Amino acid sequence: MTRDEILDAAAHIFSQKGYHAASMQDIAEAVKLQKASLYHHISSKQELLLALLDRALDLLIERMQGVVDLPDRPDIKLRYGIHVYLKTLLEQRDLASILLLEHRSLDPEYRLQHIPRRDRFESLWRDLLNEGKKKRVFICQDPALAARTILGVLNWTITWYRSDGMLSPSELADEYAGFFLNGLLSQEKLS
């Protein structure tokens, strides 16, 4: 049994039951270990939660750093970033639900370990929006607020999106990008 297999099982159980309702016994049973044997790999449920949050953020940081580093214009990078982030959330739903819904379950000492990674991820979005503002591609007054708004919309998608719905993740990302880059007003109304 590997740590990754335990994390995969814990991610699934936490996303299905919620952190507080899930037990170490549930996780042990899922990976076919005795509960005592599970503690040879993981010291606590809090450690598991933090490890899953780290796993999710490391994946997102890596993917968004790739977007930020592209040589394209900021508006193209923002559109691509929306695609990359939404695709990741929807492909990694267990991890995404833990990241977005269970982070509040961290005890204070674990929260202190979590916050720098979370802030690093959000800073990638702020940096991208600041780049666009400096290049006069974006007119947002507060890039930090704009970043939180974009992330809030994208994050909420995991609560309602269905793969058998009308839009694919790519089509949905195009819609979101259109809202953020073009607004809702008709170009005729702006003239």
159 burial (CB, 10 Å; 0-12 / 13-18 / 19+) is exposed
Token pair of 9 as six digits: 């099982």
Q: What is the pLDDT of residue 190?
A: 58
Residue pair 90/161 in contact (Cβ under 8 Å)? The answer is yes
Neighbours of 103 (CB within 10 A): 20
Residue whose C-alpha is closest to residue 58's, from 144, 118, 112: 118
Residue pair 118/104 in contact (Cβ under 8 Å)? The answer is no
Neighbours of 10 (CB within 10 A): 26
User: Does CATH number 1.10.10.10 belong to domain 45-190?
Assistant: no
Token pair of 58 as six digits: 């490391």
Is this prediction's pTM over 0.75?
yes
Q: What is the pLDDT of residue 183?
A: 85
Cα torsion angle, 43, 44, 45, 47, sign: negative
Q: What is the pLDDT of residue 55?
A: 97
Q: What is the pLDDT of residue 145?
A: 96
Token pair of 61 as six digits: 């940081």
Which architecture, in CATH terms, is 1-43? Orthogonal Bundle (1.10)
- Low-confidence stretches of the chain (pLDDT beneath 50): none
Query: In the chain, what are the domain boundaries?
Result: 1-43, 45-190
